[in-house]
Structure 1
Amino acid sequence: MQSFDLTPSERQELYKFTIDFLEKYYSDTKSNRVSPRLDISEIVKEVRKVDFSAPLTSKEALKHLVEGMKNYSVQTPHPKYFGLYNPRANFPSILGDLITAVFNPQLAAWSHSPFANEIENYLIAEFGKKFGYSTESIDGVFASGGAEANLTAVLCAVNYAFPQFAKSGWFGVRKRPVMYCSAESHHSVHKAAKTVGLGYDAIRNIPVRKDLKMDLEILKETIQKDVHDGYQPFLVIGTAGTTGTGAIDDLPGIRKIADDFGLWFHVDAAYGGAAVLHPDLKPYLNGISLSDSITFDAHKWLSVTMGTSLFITRHKEILSETFRITAEYMPKEAKDLEIVDPFTHSIQWSRRAYGIKLYLALMIFGWEGYEKTIRHQTEIGEKLKGLLKNSGWTVMNSSPFPVVCFMDENYLDNPDFTKTVIKNIIDSGKSWLSIYPVFGKPTFRACITNYNTSEEDIEALVSELNEGREILESRIKNQGTK
């Protein structure tokens, strides 16, 4: 029977073979197309040409896999990927993922992976302090992503507002619960409401002001109306760096309204939370320390591999109250120790160790290294805004973060303009950016997600945009003369 371990010499050879492939890609990512050609039949054929009844050699299999990922993926590590919050992963976090895979720790029971569990406890405590929570009150858990962290927040808010919920569920709640968020909030908030059984109708999407922040006057009026109509408000969510425009809600103002009506106040800082590591950006998150809980994704601006999200709260007991459960088959080695088993503290049961890659990156780069990286990306974002304005584009958002929504105002009412220009750029494979509606008008959205993105890269992007605009203008002019 073939050994799943392979032999030591085979492993050494395959380590080197794989690393040589990956190193070539990692060191020369820029030479690849940013986006693949989306030929569905070709991609399906490439995947399915492998016959599991006739296994390949190890090297053939590895080559097939790496080449497939290189040729048929949007290259988020590319310096001209200006898309969603999917950055290039720093190398220590990649090594952290490798180490995690080899040891394969299972974090349900503290006693089975005490070192990995304490790494995550330490990181929760350190980031909790960075966000301004008092040391003695900090608690939290790592999650697979911001969606799970936001779902955790909704569940904690439910159990905080309705202490009987763990036993009787919604059957024990007399008034219909409702929750509040900005119209610019991430859709994971809506998914969380659906998942916990509240449904979309329980969400009040509060309009935003001209600065794209949640309108607190409307928030207050909406809550007052819901109370009058017999609903039970229990949660308000502010955002520190919205997905679309990077807007930061008025967090102190939300806290005051939450206090007036006895609501749990959660801040979705999945992207913008990293600003606490930059002294010039940190003031924009004023009020985040007043929140009851925070979502923060290290796999966004901290450039670690997917997925590494943190849910942090200043309510020491709420996670246990929300998720506590007993299971006789779980290990009992630590029953006499003052520890918390993660399976009693989070949505997940058996799960991967998410924190190791962030721990390794912080050990090597430190807070200062991250501050410098965030500063560089912010400066590149500001330079991009300047280049766009000089080329006749209008910046449509005002975020201090390197998220730029922009448009040629002459084409604001022409939805085909953005689609056509972006399609040409993406089809060329030179860059990747997205479209985002600002007050119902489609705009271009470019985000600096890569610590290697340079001035040369953004100059090239603006040239591509200008060229696309010129081609479209020429086409429209020719059509008008016919």
Structure 2
Amino acid sequence: MATKGYKDKLEKILTFFQSPTSNRIMDGYFIFTISHFLDYFDDLKSEVPIFGGVRENIDELYKEAMTSQMPGEISNIEDVILQILNYCKGMYNWSHQNAQMNVIGPPPISGIIAKIAACIVNANLVSDEYSHRFSLAEVEAVAMISNLVGYDSRKSGGVFTFGGTGTNLYGVKVGLEKCAPGTFQTGIKDPVKVFASDCAHYTKYNCTQWLGIGSDNLVLIPTNQKNEMLLSVLEEKVKAEIEADNKIACIIATQGTTDAFGIDDLKGIVKIRDKLVKEYNLSYSPQIHADAVIGWIWAVFNDYNFQTNPLGFKERTLKSLRATSNLIKELRHADSLGVDFHKTGYSPYISSLFLVKDRDDLSLISRDKSTMPYLYQTGKYHPGIFTLECSRDASGPINGISNLNLLGKEGYRVIIGHVVEMAELLRDKLESYEFIDVINDYNYGSVTLFRVYPDKIKAKEHYQNELKDPVFSKDLEKHNKYNRNIYEYTVEKAYSGEGVALSFTEAYRTTVYEPSQEISAIKSFIMSPFTKEASIKKVIDQLLEARKAIQ
């Protein structure tokens, strides 16, 4: 009997793909398959902020995973869907009202559809030849955000990239080419410095290390209690490097730190830069890059009427939104900035935008077309000439633009206003207890960091002692462990469906005295628009319960 040839197997494999032309049977199967998956997925939802209801320890499963072999035989869509569902189990449900772990929000339905659309057409943003109208989505998103933050969209430029790290990497790279022209071809010849605050995201290390600048050439500037860069120290340090004949590639101004939502004084940083360029007659202007991947969305309040308050925010919330808006308005002064739609923009991962005030800056990192003879034969939009990536997924811009069009300024004001209002409610309740200190009380985002203390300790006063007085170093160490125990108790409660999932930071900041010690904190990062007063009450209740259990 003759062995079946590959063509018989190919017929089965073809059912795994979308039909290239309209086909009622195949299209119906595609819709049914997605619907079938969603039915299964819906069963993973529960009162616990975890899909599947249990977040098991998978540490031991990695050994088995590392021995995985590629299957020898063809499978089927149904079996693979069940495997995909299995990977979903234990993931946090970011929509859940009791999920308060990190700056990750749930994407709206249109954002999920946008992600699917990008997958179906499989566009590559290397050029409009392979992305066509998806390239328009990128240009539109660049223009919308430019106009939102105060750039002139007719002169600005930008590109979606692989995350907040990518936006910072581009910012530093542009600055490197400004201070040391030709580095793109010849490499780094002279010492180059990058400045950032000690509270800035750790991507400051990634950028200096991966660009060959070296993390030893990263100058960290201390911050005040508001988690803002100390401008007097910045000016002093920049002067010292200029006088040592070192080039200044970039000053990274954080516009919303990950832990505490600290915002550097961007206008003040630019003022110092401009002053020193003139004073030392520099031939270049150091790049000011705003790491605004979290804080950018507060720009929707730039033209909000805080006097009439049409959305009816409570006074404490209004004060918070106004204070943040006043700082974020200064984004227009930055030479470049980073935006994460997948953080406070409520898009799926990954949707990050690098933006430059002057699109001519992108020519500093552009390659000659002749080095890519198989590309750019048609069309007008060729970002692959200057992007680090050749292959660029189109889901970033289509997710960004879909959310901008869906929510508009008003929708984002409502969501951000709500999560801030919930955070302010939590702060208000935490502050009513003498044994709890909100330690980022000068920062006004939806993140709250706090420390809990045992009986007979006045938290606010004691924390200041731990921060500033080495006599309290042992107390600091002891209370770091105490807060870790409180946090772990709340985790168990959350995983059992009885509490709210919070997070923990080992080093919110370090002590003022030397040798410095790390200060831990429990963190609530409210991002779900479904979070209501009941979840805030639950946070307080579980903290009181945890404190009683571990006294």
**TM-score (norm: length of structure 2):** 0.79
In the alignment, the residues of structure 2 paired with residue 456 and residue 98 of structure 1 have an alpha-carbon distance, to the nearest angstrom, of 34
Please say if residues 33 and 75 of structure 1, whose CA atoms lie closer than 8 Å, have aligned partners that are also in contact. Answer: no
Are 1:257 and 2:272 matched, yes or no?
A: yes
* Structure-to-structure mapping, 1:103-142, within 5 angstroms: 103-142=121-160
Matched residue, 2:485: 420
Residue-pair matches, total: 465
Match of 2:375 in 1: 330
Q: Are the structure 2 counterparts of residues 356 and 286 from structure 1 closer, same or farther at C-alpha, using a change threshold of 3 Å?
A: closer
Aligned equivalent of 1:270: 293
Do the aligned residues in 2 keep the contact of 1:34 with 1:76 (CA within 8 Å)? no
Query: Tell me, what secondary structure is at the counterpart of 2:37?
Result: helix
Q: What is residue 89 of structure 2 aligned with on the other side?
A: 70
Name 1:476's counterpart in structure 2.
none
Once the 2 structures are TM-superposed, how far is the Cα of residue 26 of structure 1 from its aligned partner? 6.6
Q: For 1:456 and 1:319, how far apart are their aligned partners in 2? A: 49
Greater shift, 386-395 or 29-38, is seen at 29-38
What whole-Å deviation, never above 9, does each CA across 1:334-392 have from its counterpart, x for those lacking one?
A: 2xxxx330101311111110111222223332221111111111111111101111233
Corresponding letter in the other structure for 1:3: I
* Distance in 1 (alpha carbons) for counterparts of 2:50 and 2:504: 21
**Counterpart residue number, 1:346:** 387
Aligned mates of 2:160, 2:340 — CA distance in 1: 10
Calculate the aligned-residue CA RMSD, in Å. 2.4
Q: Is the 8 A contact 1:35 1:74 kept in 2?
A: no
Q: Aligned partners of 2:57 and 2:141: how far apart in 1?
A: 40
Name the % identity: 19
Matched with 1:179 is: 194
Alignment of 1:22-41 (within 5 A): 22-25=41-44, 30=49, 32=51, 36-41=55-60
Tell me how far apart the structure 2 counterparts of residues 270 and 68 of structure 1 sit (CA, whole Å).
Answer: 28
Matching residue within 416, 437, 442 for 2:508? 437
**Change in CA separation of 1:342 and 1:35 when aligned onto 2, cut-off 3 Å:** farther
Aligned partners of 1:49 and 1:463: how far apart in 2? 44
Q: Deviation per CA, 1:189-230, whole angstroms, max 9, x where unpaired?
A: 210110000111110000011222100101111111122223
- What corresponds to 1:479 in structure 2? none
Equivalent runs, 1:297-446 vs 2, <5 Å: 297-326=340-369, 327-334=372-379, 339-353=380-394, 354-392=396-434, 393-397=436-440, 398-408=442-452, 410=457, 413=476, 414=478, 415-428=480-493, 429=495, 430=499, 431-435=501-505, 436-439=507-510, 440-446=518-524
Q: Name the SS of the counterpart of 2:354 in structure 1.
A: strand
Task: Tell me, yes or no, if the aligned pair for 2:142 and 2:153 is still in contact at 8 Å.
Answer: no
C-alpha separation in 2, matches of 1:76 and 1:63: 22
1: distance between equivalents of 2:132 and 2:548?
60
**Cα deviation, residue 12, structure 1:** 3.6
Equivalent residue, structure 2, for 1:449: 527
More displaced stretch, 151-160 vs 317-326:
317-326
| Closer/same/farther in 2, CA of residues 455 and 48 from structure 1, 3 Å limit | farther
Q: Which moved more, 1:392-401 or 1:50-59?
A: 50-59
Alignment of 1:197-208 (within 5 A): 197-208=212-223
Matches within 5 A, 1:1-12: 1=9, 2-6=12-16, 8=26, 10-12=29-31
What are the equivalent positions in structure 2 for 1:189-204 lying under 5 Å apart?
189-204=204-219
Deviation larger for 46-55 or 289-298: 46-55
Note the alpha carbon deviations across 1:65-112, whole angstroms, 9 max, x for none.
2133123x3444433222221222222111110111111111112222
- Where 1:286 maps in the other structure, the secondary structure is helix
Give the superposition deviation at 1:258: 1.4
Extract unaligned runs of 5+ from structure 1. Answer: 474-482
Tell me the alpha carbon deviations over residues 142-167 of structure 1, each in whole angstroms, 9 at most, x when there is no partner: 11210011101111111122222222
Classify 1:422/1:18 alpha carbon distance in 2 versus 1 (closer, same or farther; 3 Å). Answer: same
**Paired residues of 2:49 and 2:94 also in contact (CA < 8 A):** no
Flag the 1:43–1:62 CA change in 2: closer, same or farther, 3 A: farther
Partners of 1:391 and 1:212 in 2: CA distance: 24
The alpha-carbon distance between structure 1 residues 221 and 35, as it changes in their structure 2 partners (threshold 3 A), is: farther
SS in structure 1 of the partner of residue 387 of structure 2:
coil
Which letter maps to 2:226?
D
Closer/same/farther in 2, CA of residues 427 and 50 from structure 1, 3 Å limit: farther
Q: Partners in 1 of 2:273 and 2:157 — Cα distance?
A: 21
Task: Give, in angstroms, the shift of residue 305 of structure 1.
Answer: 0.2
Change (3 A) 1:395 1:33: farther
> Which residues of structure 2 form unaligned runs of 5+?
1-8, 17-24, 277-284, 305-321, 464-475, 511-517
Give yes or no for contact 2:180–2:247 (8 Å, CA) kept in 1: no
Residue of structure 2 in register with 1:283 after alignment? 326
* Cα distance change, pair 184–33 in 1 and its aligned pair in 2 (3 A): farther
> 1:239: how far off?
0.7
How far apart in 1 are the matches of 2:74 and 2:546? Answer: 47
C-alpha spacing 1:60/1:44, structure 2 compared with 1 (3 Å) = farther
Q: TM-score by structure 1 length?
A: 0.90
